[in-house]
Amino acid sequence: MDLALTEEQAAVRALAAEFTDREIAPYATDWDRAESVDRAVIGKLGKLGFLGLTIPEEYGGSGGDHLAYCLVLEELGRGDSAVRGIVSVSLGLVAKSINSYGTQEQKRHWLPRLCDGQALACFALTEPGTGSDAANLTTRAVRDGADWLISGTKMFITNGTWANVALVFARTGEAGHKGVSAFLVPTDTPGLERREIHGKLGLRGQATAELSFDQVRVPDSARLGAEGKGFSVAMSALAKGRMSVAAGCVGIIQAALDAAVRYATEREQFGKPIASYQLVQELISDIAVDLDAARLLTWRVADHIERGLPFATESSTAKLFASEAAVRAANNALQVFGGYGFIDEYPVGKLVRDARVMTLYEGTSQVQKLLIGRSLTGVNAF
């Protein structure tokens, strides 16, 4: 066991930290209020290679390992979780799926554009009536000669109104997970309509959308993976995606710790800094312990992936712990700030709002517990 970063990993982390401090953190509050990050940041992420991490260079990627990927997401999450989510979805869920399951034509068409930021992707799995119950999705793709006609609705799709391509999961056969297939659908295809969802509690800078498909025609060459194997594509993507969420939560916890320490050493009450009071130090130390635990659990997932070991249960464990820890850490930081924490001039209120959704998407905390429990017992719980 060696927890030291390589020179390359340390350099990537330093680059991501500098980029976050310069291009993201100063604008996070304004983007949150406007409910939109500056889209110019996407091209900047691509230029630095952050949108191509772990993707082979032959397809326009920047290579690197999964720990380097986690380090970048930690830093982006520290600056603004909305930006972290853009990368997690376009790269983590879609580009990596294309790299794993795509044909040579699909890889060469989509990956270079996604990696350099010229294009963005969204992951269209969730529906209005099927969130955790993804195996029973109702969006349908019907054969029409050499093409497929896709009809249905997807909900809460990150990057939905910005994406150039959607990885869409639709029913092509029998009920249940064996009847689902995956398709790469350009978002300018006739019959596809997108509506942005406003008024979110957190991650307000992300373009979250509802997608409606009305007889959207795509060729069979747009299918990603074998017919009827789309659910496997989705679950494989989400297993790695949960690592991405956990890494972003580490960033939230780090931001909470930084803010709490800074404020506690500057703010005075009763003639001395509030950092000198035991219960304030308790709040801060609890954040620090959660930070270390969440980070190590997340790094373990990256290590398992690199060594070719099973990682799905470890990913669920990291996502469960880190997301719940991010909520605790943000709440503790707000408590340190007192009333000022309730005002959006200070960063901790946004951290509370952004952290809360982490326990919901890419599998709720309850779903993670079921996955972990099934792994340990071999029994499906209901």
As annotated, the active-site residues are 362
Longest pairwise C-alpha distance within the chain: 79
Which is nearest to 256 in space by CA: 343, 371, 351?
Answer: 351
The answer to whether residues 246 and 305 touch, using CB atoms and an 8 Å cutoff, is no
Q: Which amino acid appears at position 167 of this protein?
A: L
The answer to whether residues 124 and 166 touch, using CB atoms and an 8 Å cutoff, is yes
CA 225 to chain CA mean position, Å: 22
Give the chain's end-to-end CA distance (angstroms, integer). Answer: 37
Q: Which amino acid appears at position 364 of this protein?
A: T
Rounded Cα gap, residues 154 and 125, in angstroms:
7
Count of CB atoms situated within 10 Å of the CB of 371: 21
The answer to whether residues 63 and 57 touch, using CB atoms and an 8 Å cutoff, is yes
Question: Using N-to-C axis directions, what is the helix angle for 230-266 and 66-79, rounded to 10°?
Answer: 50
**Pairing mode of beta strands 121-124, 223-224:** unpaired
The CB-based long-range contact list for 135-138 (8 Å cut-off, 24+ gap) reads 135/176, 135/177, 135/180, 135/231, 136/175, 136/176, 137/169, 137/170, 137/171, 137/180, 138/171
